[in-house]
């Protein structure tokens, strides 16, 4: 589970919009979403690699 501390750290020095940061926090707070993102990244790496 994501803690309030990790959420605060994500906000500091953030180059992205607040909506994008919120989406990242929600993704990392949900293990199933993390698996989905990693799977997509692996597919992208295979295509580019």
In total, how many domains does the chain have?
1
> Which pTM does this prediction carry?
0.37
Q: By residue range, what is the domain housing residue 42? A: 4-48
What burial class does residue 27 get, using C-beta atoms within 10 Å of its C-beta: 0-12 exposed, 13-18 middle, 19+ buried? middle
20 or 38: which leads in pLDDT: 38
Query: Quick check: 27 and 33 in contact, CB under 8 A?
Result: yes
Geometric angle at alpha carbon 16, from 13 and 20, rounded to 5° = 125
Closest by CA position to 23, among listed 38, 35, 34: 34
Q: Band the pLDDT of 42: cuts 50, 70, 90.
A: very high
At 20 the three-state DSSP class reads: helix
């Amino acid at each position: 589970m994501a803690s309030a501390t990790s959420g605060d750290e994500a906000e500091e020095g953030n180059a992205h919009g607040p909506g994008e940061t919120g989406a990242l926090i929600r993704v990392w707070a949900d293990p199933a979403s993390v698996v989905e993102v990693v799977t997509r990244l692996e597919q992208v790496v295979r295509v580019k690699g």
